[in-house]
Amino acid sequence: MNTVTEDELYTSISRVLSEPSFKQNATRVSRLIKDQRRTPLELTGDWIEFVHRHNGASHLRVQSFNMPWYREYSIDVALFVLFIVTCTLTFLKFCCRCLCKFCRKSDGMKAKEECHTIYDIHDMIYDIHVGNRLDYCVKSH
């Protein structure tokens, strides 16, 4: 569209207006669209009669009207996600406590001291891996 010049646009519009093939195609498509057995008013009447015959046609209603409120607002999905996050955080907390207990025991630290840096946790994981001390975490809890 950015490369169309004024002359090209004028030539194209003149061609559409002067050539009969464009008018013939437009007329053909118009006939295809308008080729219906019933008018829109008759079709509307048919649908109204159908709904009346079938007592409101509840089978045609959108089923979201029948959903409980907690599904409509996706509360069940939010609770599931919250549950998964809570379980994950609890597991990570357990692992950190286990590693800190191992760190205190292997380094001779006092019971009230805790691991403070990520480097401490990394060193503990390495010690567990090398020293095969993973059974300590399982037995301590």
**Does pLDDT of 110 surpass 70?**
no
**Does pLDDT of 13 surpass 80?**
yes
Query: What integer pLDDT is reported at residue 140 of this predicted model?
Result: 45
Cβ contacts of residue 76 below 8 Å, gap of 6+?
Answer: 70
Q: What is the pTM for the complete model shown?
A: 0.39
CB atoms within 10 A of CB 38: 10
Q: What is the mean pLDDT of the chain?
A: 81
User: What amino acid occupies position 60?
Assistant: L
Long-range contacts of 135-140 (CB under 8 A, 24+ apart): 136/98, 136/101, 136/102, 136/105, 137/95, 137/98, 137/99, 137/101, 137/102, 140/98, 140/101
Over residues 15-45, the pLDDT tens digits come to 999 999 999 999 999 998 888 888 889 999 9
